[in-house]
A and B are shown apart, each in its own frame.
Chain A
């Protein structure tokens, strides 16, 4: 059973194809773009911070006040950008992606030092971690690809399953009581009013607020979907589990106004066998084969 689990995660039974490597480079490109995007967005925001309200990560051990101000976040963002681009083209030393992860971690703990513990950037962070592990431990492109995807599947499954268990421990069996959703809708409507100056309930929110059973059904669907996150570890059920998770994220956006753009895009990328599509159509684009620099280490 353990062998099956590992084989499903790291796709060890699958024949190696060029499409797999193209698929992996597309994934790596996506992660790199988001890493650079976050690095610069946080660099622009950090100068507003001047005191640590809640230390996260390394900020528990190191005084991160050196990150505040205009200069350091920009230098850090430049370094992250350059290292990311070099890493993409495999102009890199073994632990280069780890260095990017550490630099981005410092950018994160400086940006989110004001009390908020966000999770919407964790998926990209975990993917960067997976790339760092894969390029550190392996050299062959197919091994890097399979270890990266395997680690990402593992973290994604673990994340949703642990979120479901946290709810069971934190509240108990009646976590899905619809009135809890009412309270969250009120909380998030305050956030939207605070951000934009106006707020209006949408159709789904009005529906949930009119009926406890409907609100409960929405929460129950979300909770069961999180439990089903463990099915991401199974090759057979992965596309179905990911489809349900994407549906859950759309539901969260509609009911609580929380957007998970990076999550949804990444789930769309990792959830389905796009490599087979690449393999099927690559004969139509022979020039693709010549661009081997991108798919070799």
Chain B
């Protein structure tokens, strides 16, 4: 009985391995729940994440200013208060190249119009990279200003808010 089970189990496992190899080879190593787990495989590469600041009370001249990470303008915004997953958010922001109408609306929908209220939320891209032998530099670039009515983007002069 055990021998028959062992033979069957081996055969089925081999079939599963073939399916696994085929799916990984044709889907860049990801087909949930199967994966080759490539996370953190490319070490030392610059990264881009995203965060949000409340710039409702920030002067217009500063709203669109790129800053170092420890000198961010505006007040902190906790995405968990809006029910937004921050990893999801960071990927949505960093991987979107064409900020068309659909994407802007999707961004606004993440926060929810009612939850935004009268606030002005500045979506920022944060970039990090290794510099020299022993330091990490992190900078933040304003990307989109989200209000309950509209999603604005910067155009032209970075010292003024043109939208």
Physical interaction between A and B: yes
Contact of B83 among A48, A51, A158, A177 (CB under 8 A): A48
From residue B48, how far is it (CB to closest CB) to chain A in Å? 9
Q: Name the CB-closest residue of A to B23.
A: A57
Assess whether B9 is in contact with A177, with CB atoms less than 8 Å apart. no
Asked if B41 is at the interface (CB within 8 A of a chain A CB), the reply is yes
Cross-chain contact of B32 among A109, A193, A198 (Cβ < 8 A): A109
* B91 on interface, CB distance cutoff 8 Å: yes
**Contacts A119-B37, A183-B136, A196-B78; A54 near B32 (Cβ below 8 A):** no
- A115-B95 CB under 8 A given contacts A122-B32, A170-B38, A190-B69: yes
- A49 and B92 alpha carbons, distance in the complex (Å): 10
CA distance A57 to B27 in the complex (A): 8
Binary interface profile of A, 204-220, with partner B (CB < 8 Å = 1, else 0)?
A: 00000000100000000
Contacts of B154 in A (CB 8 A): none
Smallest distance from the beta carbon of B108 to chain A beta carbons, Å? 10
In the complex, whether A253 has a CB less than 8 A from a CB of chain B is no
* Contacting pair B110 A48 (CB below 8 A): yes
Interface string of B38-74 (1 = CB under 8 A from A): 1111111101011110000000000000000100000
Instruction: Tell me the minimal C-beta distance from B10 to chain A in angstroms.
Output: 5
Tell me, rounded to whole Å, the shortest Cβ–Cβ distance linking A187 to chain B: 5
Does chain B have a CB within 8 A of A154?
yes
Instruction: Write out the residue numbers on chain A whose beta carbons fall within 8 Å of the beta carbon of B95.
Output: 53-54, 115
Q: How far is the CA of A283 from the CA of B51 in the complex (A)?
A: 57
Number of B positions contacting A (CB below 8 A): 68
Residue from A109, A115, A197 in contact with B78 in the complex, judged by beta carbons closer than 8 Å: A197
A190 touches B13 (CB 8 A): no
Encode contact with B along A36-59: 1 for CB under 8 Å, 0 otherwise.
000000000100111101101100
Interface centre among A138, A154, A193 (most CB of B within 10 A): A193
Is B86 in contact with A194, judged by CB distance below 8 angstroms? yes
A195 partner, pick from B12, B80, B106, B130, beta carbons under 8 A:
B80
How long is the Cα–Cα vector from A9 to B12 in the complex, in angstroms? 13
Per-position contact with A for B120-147: 1 when CB-CB < 8 Å, else 0?
0000001011100110101000000000
Checking A160, A169, A191 against B90 with a beta-carbon cut-off of 8 angstroms, the contacting residue is A191
| Contact digits for A2-38, partner B, Cβ 8 Å, 1 yes 0 no | 1100110110110000000000000000000000000
Q: Quick one: CB contact mask for A177-201 with B, threshold 8 Å, 1 for yes?
A: 1011011101100110111111000
| Stretch binding the partner chain, chosen from A89-97, A123-131, A234-242, A268-276 | A123-131
Instruction: Name the A residues within 8 Å of B134 (CB-CB).
Output: 179, 212
A198 to chain B, nearest CB (A): 7
Please name all residues of chain A whose beta carbon is closer than 8 Å to the beta carbon of B80 when the two chains form the complex: 195-196
Q: A133-B16, A179-B134 are in contact. Are A159 and B37 (CB under 8 A)?
A: yes
Q: Is the CB of A115 within 8 A of B94?
A: yes
- Cross-chain contact of B103 among A51, A108, A118, A138 (Cβ < 8 A): A51
State how many angstroms separate the Cβ of A195 from the closest Cβ of chain B: 4
B9 touches A194 (CB 8 A): no
With a cutoff of 8 Å between Cβ atoms, the chain A residues found around residue B9 in the complex are 6, 9-10, 12, 146-147, 150
Closest-by-CB residue of B relative to A169 is B41
In the assembled complex, 16 residue pairs joining A and B whose CB atoms fall closer than 8 Å, in A order, are: A6-B10, A9-B9, A10-B6, A50-B102, A50-B106, A51-B102, A51-B106, A56-B31, A115-B92, A119-B39, A159-B37, A162-B36, A177-B43, A190-B69, A190-B126, A196-B80
Task: Identify the 4 closest CB pairs spanning chains A and B, nearest first.
Answer: A125-B33, A115-B91, A170-B41, A197-B78
Known: A129-B34, A212-B134. 17 other contacts (CB 8 A): A6-B9, A10-B5, A50-B109, A53-B96, A56-B31, A138-B5, A159-B37, A167-B41, A175-B41, A182-B130, A183-B43, A183-B47, A187-B128, A190-B128, A194-B86, A195-B78, A196-B78
Chain A residues proximal to chain B, CB less than 8 Å: 2-3, 6-7, 9-10, 12-13, 45, 48-51, 53-54, 56-57, 60, 101, 105, 108-109, 112, 114-119, 121-122, 124-126, 128-129, 133, 137-138, 143, 146-147, 150-151, 154, 158-160, 162-163, 166-167, 169-171, 175, 177, 179-180, 182-184, 186-187, 190-191, 193-198, 212
